[in-house]
Amino acid sequence: MKKKTIFGHWEASAIIMNLICTKIFLNFPRMAVEEGGTAAWIFAIYIAILAILGFTVIQKLYKPFEGKDLLDVAELAAGNIGRILVGFVILFCLGWGTVAYMRMFSENMKLISLTTSPLSYVELYFVVCLVTGAYFGIEALSRLHAFVVPVITVGFLLIMLGAVNYIDPGNLMPLLGNGLSAIFIKGAQKVSDYSEILVLFLLASFLKKYEVMKSTGYWSLVLASVFLVISVLVFSTVFPYPSSLEITIPIFHVARLIKLGRFFQRVESVFLFIWAASSLLYITVNFYLILFTFQKAFRLDYYKPLIIPLSIIVMSLSFLPSDFAEVVTYEVELFRSWSWVPAFVMPILLLILARRKHRKSAESGGNEPQDS
């Protein structure tokens, strides 16, 4: 009855990369500057290394669970209750991502171009996208990512290249910015900026092979961290530290500066294309994964009946924060400080538990899952 969708390394990498990198267009460069000061780029590299290390541990533990997603692993580790509990945690993470990003992007969009439109009108476009995306399913979404993400990447790199004239390496001084402890101790929890890697463990069942999952993880993490570092480096060299702390939409402001001759200037509207595409894809994939997790956690036959009710819930929740600043505070202060727990610690614990159970069952004669 159900057609098992399988997609490749390219599509999966594009999804994960976009999920991690969307925050470039939102608040990541500024957040990095807040954390690391003039050493924001060192901070960006540091959290990238932490994320890659975290993934290395997880992928090593994942080896015997080829073709199983995190919910399957949770079931192996702690039975039905484990699956449902983990499902709730994932639902919260994805739900927050969708709600917060929908609100933040809509607010930013309203601020930049649709100044006279009500917020609900702007959000309606996001809702249309996520409902349609959910109806088409992960296969269509993955394919769309496969050719939209390269276009977004090229657009982003062009903006970065366009700002070369304004780069002042002197803005990177003092080299260690806010100090070693701020970057390496306090900043460590900001590895949560890579918490979208959690999605890879949900996509594991679509990727089938362990090797594909492994290469997807590394490729997407490495590429995403390169782009994150580039964005931080350009932002912190273009704007001096004090003024960079006052900028709400960093890359938008970088794009605004671009002026190549008399004609090619103010390309920030072109930036809107890639920005909107990236955010729409982020929200659509997140929403589909909410449905997927819900379906799998509660063992439902179909997810399509949930699309309309859940989209209404998501849209309603995005209106709850009183203003833009409140969403950013929750996102930066809370979610991006603690989401490393569900993204990195939870999978590690689950995998260790599942491996122990597997070993026990192997000793008592069980033969599943196979260690490849």
Neighbours of 80 (CB within 10 A): 11
Neighbours of 309 (CB within 10 A): 9
In the region spanning residues 279 to 318, those forming contacts with another protein, defined by CB under 8 A, are 280-281, 284, 302, 304-305, 308
Identify the residue among 175, 242, 246, 263 touching another protein (CB under 8 A): 263
Single-letter amino acid code for the residue at 363: E
Q: Could you give the dihedral angle defined by the CA atoms of residues 196, 198, 202 and 206, in that order, rounded to the nearest 10 degrees?
A: 70
We find the least distance from the C-beta atom of residue 342 to another protein, in angstroms, to be 28
113 binds another protein (CB under 8 A): yes
* Start-to-end CA span in the chain (Å): 29
- Output 91 or 272, the one with its CB closest to another protein: 272
- Output 76 or 255, the one with its CB closest to another protein: 255
* Number of residues assigned to the chain: 372
- Output 75 or 123, the one with its CB closest to another protein: 123
Q: Write out the two tokens for 32.
A: 């990095």
15 contact partners, CB below 8 Å, separation of at least 6: 141, 142, 145, 149, 199, 203, 285
Give the Cα separation of 49 and 46 in Å (integer): 5
Identify the residue among 276, 291, 328, 350 touching another protein (CB under 8 A): 276
Identify the residue among 52, 84, 85, 114 touching another protein (CB under 8 A): 114
We find the least distance from the C-beta atom of residue 11 to another protein, in angstroms, to be 6
Q: Which stretch binds another protein (CB under 8 A): 76-84, 189-197, 220-228, 266-274?
A: 266-274
Q: Which of 296, 353, 309 is nearest to 80 (CA)?
A: 296
- CB of 27 within 8 A of CB of 250? yes
26 binds another protein (CB under 8 A): no
- Output 104 or 141, the one with its CB closest to another protein: 141
Question: Binding mask 71-110 vs another protein (x if CB under 8 A, - otherwise)?
Answer: --------------------------------------x-
Give the Cα separation of 144 and 150 in Å (integer): 11
Tell me how far CA of residue 284 lies from CA of 83, 86, 291, 304, in angstroms. 24, 22, 11, 14
Q: Compute how many residues bind another protein; rule: CB under 8 A.
A: 48
In the region spanning residues 115 to 174, those forming contacts with another protein, defined by CB under 8 A, are 117, 121-122, 125, 128-129, 132-133, 135-137, 139-144, 146-148
We find the least distance from the C-beta atom of residue 165 to another protein, in angstroms, to be 18
Give the Cα separation of 234 and 208 in Å (integer): 38
5 binds another protein (CB under 8 A): no
We find the least distance from the C-beta atom of residue 156 to another protein, in angstroms, to be 15
- Report CA torsion sign: 295, 80, 217, 158: positive
Q: Which of 228, 232, 222 is nearest to 49 (CA)?
A: 222
- Output 121 or 338, the one with its CB closest to another protein: 121
- Output 80 or 113, the one with its CB closest to another protein: 113
Site residues for another protein per CB under 8 A:
1, 3, 7-8, 10-11, 109, 113-114, 117, 121-122, 125, 128-129, 132-133, 135-137, 139-144, 146-148, 262-263, 265-270, 272-273, 276-277, 280-281, 284, 302, 304-305, 308
